[in-house]
C-alpha cells in the first residue's frame, strides 16, 4: 500500500529569494536614481569640500580645514580677472543670443516661408558639430579676415553656438502654447502688439529664461572654442586648465562652488515661481 509523502517545507533560503526579488523590483528605479545622483554630485561635493582646504598653490592633498579661501576668493593670482572676463563674455553672449534666438524661434514656429526646413537644419548644426571643429573654423575665419583675437572674438564665437540652444528651448515652449489664448485676446479687441506683450510673451517667458540660463552656463563653461579664439585673454575655464598642471588653487574651488549654488538657487526660485502661478 502506497504511503502519502508530506509536502516539502520551504527552506529559509528559498523564502529569501522571492522577498529579495520583490524588493529589487520595487526599488530598482530608486537604486538607479541614487547611483545617477551620486555620479553627478560626487565631483561637486569634492569641489565644495576642497574649497575649505588649508592649502597653498596646490590643492590636491587635504591639509586641514579653513574658511580663509572663502573670505578671500581673489587670493590666488589671476583668478578674479579671469572670472571677470568669463562673466562679461557670458552676459553679453547671453543677451545677444537670447534676443536673436527668440526672434528666430518665433519665425520658425509661427511663419511659413521658403527655406524654413533648411533653416531648422542649420540651427541644429552648431549643436551637432564637435567643438574642436567649430573652434578651428572660427579661428581660420578670424585669421583670414584679419580680426585680432581677444575678448570680442570670444563673444562672437559664444553667440554663434548659444543661439542654437536658445532657439530650440524657446521653440519648444512656443509649440506647447494654446493658440486659442491669442485668438481670444484678438476677439477682445487687442491688437497684435498688445497680444504679444500681454499674452504671448508672458507665456513664453519661462522658455526664454530657460534658454538664457542655458546660454550663460554654456558660455561661462566653454573651454575648447574659447581656447582657439581667445588670444591672450584669460577666462576662468582657461585659468583652471593652466592651474591644473601645478595644482588647482582652493580659490578656484570656492568660485566653482559659489557658481553651482547660485545656479541651484536660480533653479529653485524658478520652480517656486511656477508653483505659485499654478496655485
Distance CA 112, CA 103 (A): 14
Distance CA 254, CA 260 (A): 10
Q: Is residue 132 part of a domain?
A: yes
Give the pTM.
0.82
Q: Is residue 9 part of a domain?
A: no
For residue 119, give the CATH number of its domain. Answer: 1.10.3720.10
Rounded to the nearest 10°, the torsion over CA 70, 222, 237, 136 is -170
The pLDDT, as a whole number, for residue 135 is 92
The pLDDT, as a whole number, for residue 92 is 96
Give me the number of domains the chain comprises.
1
Q: Is residue 244 part of a domain?
A: no
**Alpha helices in 176-200, H assignment, sequence order:** 179-187, 192-195
The pLDDT, as a whole number, for residue 118 is 86
Q: Is residue 273 part of a domain?
A: no
Q: Is residue 222 part of a domain?
A: yes
Q: Is residue 250 part of a domain?
A: no
Q: Is residue 18 part of a domain?
A: no
Note the Cα 38 to chain centre separation in Å. 18
* Range 221-225 contact pairs with CB under 8 angstroms and sequence separation of 24 or more: 222/131, 222/158, 222/161, 224/131, 224/132, 224/135, 225/131, 225/134, 225/135, 225/138, 225/157, 225/158, 225/161
Structure-block grid coordinates of residue 211: 534658454
Question: Alpha-carbon Rg of the chain, whole angstroms?
Answer: 27
The pLDDT, as a whole number, for residue 22 is 81
The pLDDT, as a whole number, for residue 148 is 93
The pLDDT, as a whole number, for residue 4 is 54
Provide the 3-class DSSP secondary structure of residue 222. Answer: coil
Provide the 3-class DSSP secondary structure of residue 10. Answer: coil
83 lies in which domain range? 78-235
Question: pLDDT (tens digit, 0 to 9) for every residue of the chain, 279 residues total?
Answer: 455 555 555 555 555 667 778 887 788 888 899 999 899 889 889 889 888 888 776 777 788 888 888 988 888 888 899 999 999 999 999 999 999 999 999 988 888 888 888 888 888 888 888 899 999 999 999 999 999 999 999 999 999 999 999 999 999 888 888 778 777 887 777 777 888 888 888 888 888 988 999 999 999 989 999 999 998 899 999 998 888 777 788 888 899 899 888 888 888 887 787 777 766
Structure-block grid coordinates of residue 96: 545677444
Q: Is residue 144 part of a domain?
A: yes
Amino acid at each position: 500500500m502506497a504511503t502519502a509523502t508530506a509536502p516539502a517545507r520551504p527552506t529559509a533560503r528559498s523564502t529569501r529569494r522571492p522577498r529579495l526579488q520583490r524588493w529589487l523590483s520595487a526599488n530598482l528605479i530608486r537604486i538607479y536614481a541614487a547611483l545617477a545622483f551620486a555620479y553627478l554630485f560626487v565631483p561637486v561635493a569634492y569641489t565644495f569640500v576642497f574649497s575649505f582646504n588649508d592649502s597653498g598653490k596646490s590643492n590636491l592633498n587635504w591639509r586641514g580645514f579653513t574658511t580663509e579661501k572663502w573670505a578671500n576668493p581673489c587670493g590666488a593670482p589671476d583668478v578674479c580677472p579671469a572670472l571677470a572676463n568669463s562673466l562679461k563674455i557670458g552676459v553679453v553672449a547671453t543677451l545677444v543670443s537670447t534676443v536673436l534666438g527668440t526672434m528666430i524661434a518665433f519665425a520658425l514656429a509661427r511663419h511659413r516661408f521658403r527655406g524654413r526646413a533648411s533653416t531648422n537644419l542649420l540651427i541644429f548644426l552648431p549643436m551637432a558639430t564637435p567643438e574642436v571643429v567649430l573652434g578651428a573654423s572660427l579661428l581660420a575665419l578670424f585669421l583670414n579676415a584679419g580680426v585680432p583675437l581677444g575678448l570680442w572674438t570670444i563673444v562672437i564665437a559664444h553667440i554663434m553656438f548659444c543661439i542654437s540652444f536658445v532657439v530650440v528651448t524657446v521653440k519648444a515652449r512656443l509649440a506647447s502654447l494654446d493658440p486659442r489664448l491669442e485668438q481670444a485676446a484678438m476677439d477682445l479687441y487687442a491688437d497684435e502688439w498688445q497680444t504679444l506683450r500681454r499674452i504671448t510673451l508672458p507665456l513664453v517667458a519661462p522658455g526664454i529664461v530657460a534658454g538664457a540660463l542655458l546660454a550663460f552656463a554654456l558660455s561661462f563653461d566653454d573651454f575648447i572654442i574659447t581656447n582657439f579664439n581667445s588670444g591672450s585673454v584669460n577666462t576662468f575655464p582657461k585659468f583652471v586648465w593652466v592651474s591644473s598642471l601645478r595644482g588647482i588653487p582652493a580659490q578656484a574651488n570656492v568660485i566653482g562652488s559659489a557658481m553651482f549654488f547660485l545656479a541651484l538657487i536660480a533653479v529653485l526660485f524658478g520652480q517656486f515661481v511656477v508653483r505659485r502661478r499654478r496655485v
